[in-house]
C-alpha cells in the first residue's frame, strides 16, 4: 500500500476513471495545462487532451451548467470549482438544477455530475476566500455531500462519485492537499455514506469532518496525556449523516463533543446536534458540546484568524469541562 499526497490521490482517481470510461471528463479553471491550483489534474491534459481536461473561463455558473447539462445526456463530468467561495456563483446550477432535475422529470432524467471544490480556512486568505459552505449544500435535498479527510477517501470517494447516478458535491480542504496517507495499490471504491471511527476510546466521542477530524485527533492525543480516552469519529458524509455509528460510539462513551470549522448558528454542528438529540438521546449522560468557529467573517490578521477558529486546545478544554476535570 503506497503512501501518497492527498492531491495525488485525487489526481489518481481522475486518471483511473477517465481511462475506464471515455464519457468521463474534467473541467474547471486552470485544471488543463497548469494541472490545477492544487495539482489534482496534473499531467492529465497531456494524457487525455483538451477535449477531456478542459480549461474554462472564470465563469463558474456557466461551466458548472455545462457539466450539469452534459450529465443529463449521459456524460460523467467532474467539475472542479477552484475555491468553494466561487461556488456561490454556481449555486443556481448545483442547487436549482442538479439537485432537482431527477425529481422534476419524474425520474426520467438523471444528473450524475460530480462537483469538487476545496474550502475552509487556509492561511490569511481573507474572509472572501475562507468559506465553509457545507451547510448550504448539506441543506439541499437531492444532493449527496461528502468530505474526505484523508487521501484514501479522497481517492475512493471520487471514484465512487463518478459512477454514482446522483449529483455529488465533494468538499475538500485547502490545508490538507499535502497530507500524506496510505492508499490501496489496487483499485478501491469508498462508500459515499457512513462515518468512520478513526481512533477508539471509552470516555468521550469527538465528532468532526475534514479539518476538524484532524483537530479532534490532535485533541485526543492531548486528552490521553491526562488519562482521558477519546473516540474520534470522522463523519465522511454530511448528507446523509450516519447516526448509527454515532449511536454505537455514544453507547460506549455517553458524552459527545462536536467540532466544526463553520460557525455555530445554523451550521453543521447544529444539524449534528439535532441528530444526536433525535436519534441518540438515550445514550447521552450530558448535553453534547459544540466547538465551532466564532460567528464572524474570518479575519485576515493571522492572530485573529487563529482566534476565530477551533483547534485542538479548544476541543481539549471543552472536553475537560464536559467531563468535570
129 carries an active-site annotation:
yes
Task: Check residue 270 and report its DSSP letter.
Answer: H
Rounded Cα distance between 88 and 56, Å, is 17
Other residues' Cβ atoms within 10 Å of the Cβ of residue 68:
23
Instruction: Supply 80's cell numbers.
Output: 472542479
Cα separation values, 287 from 100, 156, 283, Å: 36, 35, 11
Length of the chain: 325
Other residues' Cβ atoms within 10 Å of the Cβ of residue 220:
24
Rounded Cα distance between 107 and 109, Å, is 6
Rounded Cα distance between 229 and 255, Å, is 12
Give the angle 275-159-134 at the CA atoms, nearest 5°. Answer: 35
Cα separation values, 215 from 167, 240, 260, Å: 29, 22, 10
Helix, strand, coil content of the chain in percent (nearest 5): 40, 20, 40
60 carries an active-site annotation:
yes
Catalytic residue among 17, 29, 60, 283: 60
* Closest to 189 in 3D by CA, of 4, 17, 6, 8: 17
Rounded Cα distance between 39 and 11, Å, is 7
Element (H, E) at 43: none
Instruction: Supply 119's cell numbers.
Output: 474550502
Pairing of strands 204-208, 53-55: unpaired
The residues annotated with a catalytic role in the active site are 60, 129
Amino acid at each position: 500500500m503506497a503512501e501518497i499526497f492527498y492531491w495525488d490521490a485525487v489526481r489518481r482517481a481522475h486518471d483511473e476513471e477517465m481511462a475506464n470510461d471515455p464519457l468521463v471528463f474534467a473541467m474547471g479553471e486552470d485544471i488543463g495545462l497548469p494541472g490545477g491550483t492544487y495539482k489534482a489534474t496534473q499531467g492529465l491534459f497531456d494524457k487525455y487532451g483538451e477535449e477531456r481536461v478542459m480549461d474554462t473561463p472564470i465563469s463558474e455558473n456557466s461551466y458548472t451548467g455545462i457539466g450539469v447539462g452534459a450529465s443529463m445526456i449521459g456524460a460523467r463530468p467532474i467539475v472542479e470549482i477552484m475555491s468553494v467561495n466561487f461556488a456561490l456563483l454556481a449555486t443556481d446550477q448545483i442547487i436549482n438544477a442538479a439537485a432537482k432535475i431527477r425529481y422534476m422529470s419524474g425520474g426520467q432524467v438523471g444528473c450524475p455530475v460530480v462537483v469538487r471544490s476545496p474550502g475552509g480556512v487556509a492561511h490569511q486568505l481573507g474572509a472572501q476566500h475562507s468559506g465553509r459552505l457545507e451547510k448550504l449544500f448539506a441543506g439541499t435535498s437531492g444532493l449527496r455531500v461528502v468530505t474526505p479527510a484523508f487521501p484514501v477517501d479522497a481517492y475512493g470517494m471520487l471514484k465512487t462519485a463518478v459512477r454514482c447516478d446522483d449529483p455529488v458535491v465533494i468538499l475538500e480542504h485547502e490545508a490538507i492537499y499535502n497530507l500524506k496517507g496510505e492508499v490501496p495499490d489496487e483499485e478501491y471504491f469508498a462508500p459515499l455514506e457512513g462515518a468512520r471511527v478513526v481512533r477508539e476510546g471509552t470516555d468521550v466521542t469527538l465528532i468532526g469532518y475534514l479539518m476538524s477530524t484532524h483537530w479532534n485527533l490532535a485533541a485526543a492525543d492531548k486528552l490521553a496525556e491526562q488519562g482521558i480516552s477519546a473516540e474520534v469519529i470522522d463523519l465522511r458524509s454530511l448528507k446523509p449523516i450516519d447516526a448509527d455509528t454515532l449511536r454505537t460510539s455514544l453507547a460506549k462513551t455517553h458524552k459527545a463533543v462536536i467540532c466544526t470549522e463553520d460557525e455555530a448558528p445554523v451550521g453543521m454542528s447544529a444539524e449534528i446536534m439535532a441528530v444526536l438529540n433525535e436519534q441518540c438521546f438515550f445514550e447521552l449522560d450530558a448535553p453534547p458540546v459544540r466547538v465551532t468557529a466564532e460567528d464572524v467573517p474570518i479575519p485576515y490578521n493571522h492572530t485573529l484568524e487563529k482566534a476565530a477558529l477551533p483547534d485542538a486546545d479548544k476541543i481539549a478544554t471543552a472536553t475537560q469541562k464536559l467531563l468535570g476535570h
